[in-house]
Amino acid sequence: MILTLTMVGLGIVLTYWYLKLHFGVFERYGIPGPKPVFLLGNIIEIMKKGQLQAISDWRKTYGIAFGYFEGFTPVLSVSDPAVVREVLVKDFANFQARKPFPLAPRKSLGLFLENGHQWRRSRSILSPAFSTSKLRKMTGVMEEQIDKLLHKLGNQQRDGAFFDIYSQFQSLTLDVIGRCAFGLHTNAQLDVTDAFLNNIQTLFRNMTTTFILPVVMLFPFVQYFIFAIKNVILAIGMNPVSWLRRQLIEVIRIRRAIGNDDSVTDLMQQMLFHSNKHQQMTDREIVAQSLTFLLAGYETTSAVLAFHCHVLAQNPAAQMRLRKEITQLGEEKINYHSVQNLPYLDMVFDEVCRLYPTASLIVTRQAAAARTIGDLHIPAGMNVQVDVWGLHHDNQFWNQPEKFIPERFSQENKSQIHPYTFMPFGAGPRNCIGSRFAMLETKIAIARIIKNYELKSSNISQDGLALLCRGAIVPKDGVYVKLTRARNSKDG
C-alpha cells in the first residue's frame, strides 16, 4: 500500500514537473507572449475571442514574434518578414512539415498535411494539372458555370432586395471545382438540395460547432480515440465525410473502367493515369487528395469572391473604375485571354486579398531541428505560424492598412512592396498549388458581375464584416448586397 501511494505520488510530481517544463518553453527562450493557464494554455482566450482576434490582440501587445498555447500545443507566431523568408523559403528543408491540425488525420487531407517524401511525390504528380495549358481548357467549364450564376443574379436583381451573395458563390465554386477537377456533375447552383452541397455545408458547419475541437486542443492524445470512434461512424455512414468518400470512390471506379482518355485533362485524370507507373497513386491516396481539393476549392474561392463584392459595394468609385476598364473590352468575351488585359482588376484582386487573406491561419511549419534567426531561437519541434493577417495590416509596411487602396498594387508601386509582407497564397515550395486556378475563376466571375451589375451595400455590412475562422477565414454571416443593372451592360 505504501509503495503504491509512493509510486502514485511520484507519478504526480513527475507529471507536474513535465507540464511546468512544457508550458514554460517560451519563457525559457525569452519569447514574449500571453501567460498560459496551467493545463489549459491560452485556449480560454482563443475560444472566447476567436483565434484570429486573439492573435491580432497578442501581436499588438507582444510584437512580431510571440508564443502562445493552442491548448496543449505551443505555437510561435511570427510576422517579421526576415524570419518568414527564412522559414518558408531559405531554410525550407528544416521547416518542410506543417503544424499538426486538430481533428485532421494526415491520411485524410492529402497534400495539405503530407510531409517529406510523400509530400514531394504528391506535389510532383499534381502540379501538371494546374499548368497554363490545362487552365486554358478549364476556362470553358468556368464560363459555363458563371453563366448560370449570372442568370441567378439576374433574378435577384429583378427582385430588388438585398440577398446573401456569399451563398451563391459557394454553389458556384462547388460546381466549378467538381467539374474541372473530377468531372463531377454537381448541380449546386440550380438545386439547393444538391447532395454534394448539403454534405459539404454540414461538414463545415460541424467544424465550427463541435465541442470536440477544444477538447483535442487541450489533450492532443484524445484525437486517437476520436478517430477510432469516427471510423465506426464512417462505417455506418453517419458522417458527411463518409458520403463524400463514397462518391469519390465511385468516380474513381467509373474513370478506371473508362480508361485513359488523353482528351480529358482534369485532376482526376492526372492522379489515375500518371505517365510514370511507379508514381501512380493508390485509390486511398486519390480520395484523400480529391477531398482536399474539393473542400479547398469550395471554401476559399467562394470567400474571396464574397470579400470582393463586400469591398466593391462599399467603394462605388473603385467599382465604377473597374466597370469602365471592363467595358473597354467591347464585345470581347471575358475569358482566359481577355481577363489578362485588365490591370485594375489585378490591383483590386490583390488589395482584396491583402485586406482579407483567407489562408491567414494555415500558413504553418514545424521545425525539424533548432534554429536561431537573428535574436529569435526556434527549438526543435516548435510549431511556427506565419501571421499573414498581421503582415497584411501592419502600418510599418502599408500606408493606412485598413483602407481599400488598389493603387498600392499598380505596376509603379508594386516594386516598393516589402518582400514577404504580402502572401495571400503562402510562399515558398509549399505555397498554394491551386492559386492560379482560384485567381482565374475569381477574376472572370467578378469581371462579368461588375460589367453587368452595380453592387449596393446593405446596412448589415456597413459597420464591418464579421469573420469566422474554420481553417480558412470566411464571412460569418454572409455578404448582403443589392444589384441594379449597369448602364448599357451587355454580358460578355
The more confident residue out of 235 and 431 is 431
Residue pLDDT, tens place only, 260-276: 877 777 888 888 887 77
Residue 102's pLDDT is 62
Instruction: Decide if pLDDT at 9 tops 80.
Output: no
How do residues 30-73 score in pLDDT, each as one tens digit?
999 999 998 888 999 998 998 999 999 999 999 999 999 998 89
Tens of pLDDT along 350-396? 999 999 999 888 899 999 999 999 999 999 999 999 999 999 999 99
- Kindly state whether residue 14 falls inside one of the protein's structural domains: no
* Distance (Å, whole) CA 284 – CA 183: 18
Does residue 454 belong to any structural domain of this protein?
Answer: yes
> What's the chain's average pLDDT?
87
Where b means 16+ CB within 10 Å and e means fewer, 74-87 reads bbbbbbbbebbbbb
Q: How many other β-carbons are positioned within 10 Å of the β-carbon of residue 490?
A: 10
CATH of the domain at 202: 1.10.630.10
Q: What is the mean pLDDT of residues 459-474?
A: 77
Written as one letter, the residue type at 252 is I
Q: How many C-beta atoms surround the C-beta of residue 165 within 10 A? A: 27
Tell me, what amino acid is at 50? Answer: G
Which amino acid appears at position 139 of this protein? Answer: T
pTM (2 d.p.) = 0.91
Cell representation of residue 344: 485594375
Mode of pairing for the β-strands spanning 383-386 and 73-78: parallel
Q: Is residue 15 part of a domain?
A: no
pLDDT at res. 222: 47
More reliable by pLDDT, 475 or 219: 475
Phi, then psi, of 113 in degrees rounded to 5: -115, 5
pLDDT digits (tens, 9 = 90+) for 316-335: 999 999 999 999 988 778 99
Residue whose C-alpha cell is 495590416? 393
Residue 296 is assigned to a structural domain of this protein:
yes
Tracing cell 440577398 back to the chain, one arrives at: 163
Range of the domain at 79: 72-485
Describe the chain by its helix, strand, coil percentages, rounded to 5.
Answer: 55, 10, 35
Our measurement of the distance from residue 219's CA atom to the centroid of its chain's CA atoms, rounded to an integer in Å, reads 25
Residue 2 domain flag: no
Given this model, what pLDDT does residue 12 score?
72
In a domain, 318, yes or no: yes
**What would the mean pLDDT of 196-212 be, rounded to a whole number?**
74
* Amino acid 235: pLDDT: 45
Q: Which residues pair with 384 in a beta bridge?
A: 76, 365
Q: Is residue 53 part of a domain?
A: no
Asked, for residue 50, whether it belongs to a domain, the answer is no
Q: Examine the pLDDT at 343 and tell me if it is beyond 90.
A: yes
Q: What total number of domains does the chain contain?
A: 1
Per-residue burial over 323-347, b = 16 or more CB atoms within 10 Å of its CB, e = otherwise: bebbbebeeeebbbebbeebebbbb
